[in-house]
């Protein structure tokens, strides 16, 4: 199993809309609005790195209101 944290910057006022849309994506395990440098935090899981990449690139980054993302792949022993 491959997992990642994804931090997002959102357009002003779109944070909750983005979180609600993220929760509809099957590989997204958790999504939260947060305060600080980033506006949204998400945890994603997938069976392969390729499907993880595809989900982030083809589904998540194309959501309305997302300005930028920072993806941190979780390293497991």
Which tens digits make up the pLDDT trace of 50-76? 999 999 999 999 999 999 999 999 998
pLDDT at 39: 97
**What band does 5 get if pLDDT is binned at 50, 70 and 90?**
very high
Residue 16 has pLDDT above 80, yes or no: yes
Q: Model confidence over 29-45: pLDDT tens digits?
A: 999 999 999 999 999 99
The rounded distance, in Å, linking the Cα atoms of 4 and 64 is 21
pTM of the model: 0.90
DSSP 3-state of 6: strand
CATH ID of 2-73, from 3.30.70.120, 3.30.70.920, 3.30.70.930, 3.30.70.360:
3.30.70.920
Q: Residue 72 class from Cβ within 10 Å (0-12 exposed, 13-18 middle, 19+ buried)? A: exposed
């Amino acid at each position: 199993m491959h997992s990642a944290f994804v931090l997002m910057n959102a357009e002003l006022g779109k944070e909750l809309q983005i979180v609600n849309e993220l929760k509809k994506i099957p590989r997204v395990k958790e999504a939260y609005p947060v305060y600080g440098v980033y506006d949204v935090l998400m945890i994603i899981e997938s069976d392969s790195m390729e499907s993880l990449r595809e989900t982030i690139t083809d589904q998540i980054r194309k959501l309305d209101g997302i300005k930028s993302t920072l993806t941190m792949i979780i390293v497991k022993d």
